[in-house]
Structure 1
């Protein structure tokens, strides 16, 4: 698929690349990953200055109202630079708030870089099913009381507020060790809440993930929130959750694309400089064939990631249009990008030889992050099943 960024998108992408090349090189990134916090306040301040936090926020809330194509350009560059700051988590959280239409003040803080967000959606039993929600929201005087536990919350420890999915007490009656899992696997009845980081009863335990980012386990032990904490309407958060996660999957596809391009370029340069038997190993035909296969995977992944970004942009990030088409395109992109990430990642490691798995080379870091992206917001098997389940597939087959 042939696609060119417009002038503003290209200027922003160039600015991000210059910043990363100047101030966020590989050694700087390694130092940030191994620091106590795992993130850099200086890097976050630069991202705010570049307008990245304001880009996806609607104009009425102090942002630029950038669509999925603008975010595609940004995420490619952040992926290329292996940036570990809590940007994806915050942007995805902002997408939930935008769809809910009630939290303009918080969105303004996000646009200004004054607030970071995280999405507490996954649970012990849910795996890739975001609608498998056992966390309970009990209606009480003055609001709701939340009980439950969330797992692998990306940048949960760095967030100022969490987006939490839960079911009402009525829908969750009888949820115990012997309860049927099917009783909580339903798109209907899901509510979404904004939970401030300093809420009483909220426990967050952060840790570093395989790819150098940060995640957290979150326990909600009777956390009290007011009625204004609800995103959208009570028990009608399923549609928001579905569309926002498709938006997030599109962001991850773009990030992975930037990483695969950088990994491909790094490997190609290595083949040109590594000498064996008195010649660069890039002259060996078998290795040229491997690079050609990697290039094909890269271009196919690029086409599908762009198709997903276009579909999300045309539907306002997934809010309108044909839901089946949006789901089908996003799942196809997530599957194809995951397939390419696995092939290119494994190929790059093999072509680098033993050095490919060392911490000193960027190749291993790209491969780790690509592997984590494949498992985030649904792995390849999950999205293949979702693609097949969309209306019209079996009839066409």
Structure 2
């Protein structure tokens, strides 16, 4: 990447981070997050519209189709900020649907989605902990985040080597909801027809899912980074034996270990985003390289976020285990995000398949 292009990429990432401050500040008041927990639809439709107005939902959609046309570096930066702020609005699932609608050329539902007027969710998953899309016409579609707030569902159905995309209205749909640890919900949809809005290839489907997995890894990075920042602040202010507990060497060692985990996760996410932005489908960056980089980032972020948030609660002491303590909100979010778009174990297997050992 030339110096000029790198400067432009860095500036886009900086602007995206700055834009997040007005809607989802990292250290903002978490009263909004608590007020939305375990209530329908689990997020604020007004904030979703604001995200559309900011161009966030269509960040990865080409400009000629009404999107921002920015790269994965910018998208991951935004996802990290939203993860740090615990924003419950389903940006990554919405962006996945936007990518598929754009690839299919479905302009009307795409416009409603990227503007924030409606939430469209891609109903692709047919079994737990899977990254495959069988596209079975009548199979239940699982783990639809914040499905109670969706206007419609985008159901991929296998058609030859690709997929037919069917848009099924949420009104009247056979939808069952289950609460999640962080106060949101997952939906299980039983497909029932729907209007065909276009087709996508298997490669387009995989690329869209990989971007969603990387965006989720970036959200986990934001969750653990902010949880760690809150923990450091607590260690500096909590007094014991007349001095801050952060001065105790044993706690300093634990904090240093967590900082290393966050740094490694950040390096993995940023490296994967850079590979995507260089063009992961070109000869200079084969698809296997992109697949391996994203799998590594998601596996590392999932494991590290659970480790960091659990340790953060322990470092807060007894108060960290109460629901009133904000630090617990971060562990709950990490528990939900860790398995979205594939668990750490699944992505380790994907990494091994994409990067087989080479005998000397």
Give 2:262's aligned residue. Answer: 298
Q: CA RMSD in A?
A: 2.5
Give 1:88's aligned residue. Answer: 92
Q: Post-superposition shift, 1:295? A: 0.6
Deviations 1:2-22 (A, max 9, x none): x99633432331231233349
2:160 maps to 1:156 = no
Q: Name the SS of the counterpart of 1:271 in structure 2.
A: helix
Answer yes or no: is the 8 Å Cα contact 1:243–1:319 preserved in 2. Answer: no
Query: Which of the residues 7, 12, 18 maps onto 1:14?
Result: 18
- CA distance, structure 1, for counterparts of residue 27 and residue 328 of structure 2: 21
2:294 maps to 1:325 = no
2:193 maps to 1:224 = yes
More displaced, 299-308 or 31-40? 31-40
Give 2:112's aligned residue. Answer: 109
Q: Post-superposition shift, 1:132? A: 6.0
Answer yes or no: is the 8 Å Cα contact 1:38–1:208 preserved in 2. Answer: no
CA change 1:198–1:249 in 2 (3 A) is closer
- CA distance, structure 2, for counterparts of residue 366 and residue 198 of structure 1: 30
Answer yes or no: is the 8 Å Cα contact 1:57–1:107 preserved in 2. Answer: no
- CA distance, structure 2, for counterparts of residue 23 and residue 55 of structure 1: 24
Give 2:236's aligned residue. Answer: 272
Give 1:27's aligned residue. Answer: 31
- CA distance, structure 2, for counterparts of residue 128 and residue 190 of structure 1: 22
Structure 2 unaligned blocks of 5 or more: 1-5
What are the within-5 Å matches in structure 2 for residues 1-397 of structure 1?
Answer: 6-21=10-25, 25-100=29-104, 102-123=105-126, 126-131=127-132, 133=134, 135-136=136-137, 147-167=138-158, 191-198=163-170, 202-220=173-191, 223-226=192-195, 228-232=196-200, 237-315=201-279, 321-390=285-354, 393-396=356-359
Structure 1 unaligned blocks of 5 or more: 137-146, 169-187
- CA distance, structure 1, for counterparts of residue 27 and residue 268 of structure 2: 31
CA change 1:253–1:327 in 2 (3 A) is same
CA change 1:290–1:54 in 2 (3 A) is same
Task: Give the paired residue count.
Answer: 353
CA change 1:319–1:376 in 2 (3 A) is farther
Q: Name the SS of the counterpart of 2:129 in structure 1.
A: coil
- CA distance, structure 2, for counterparts of residue 335 and residue 21 of structure 1: 26
Q: TM-score, normalised by structure 1?
A: 0.82
- CA distance, structure 1, for counterparts of residue 256 and residue 31 of structure 2: 30
Give 1:139's aligned residue. Answer: none
More displaced, 20-29 or 10-19? 20-29
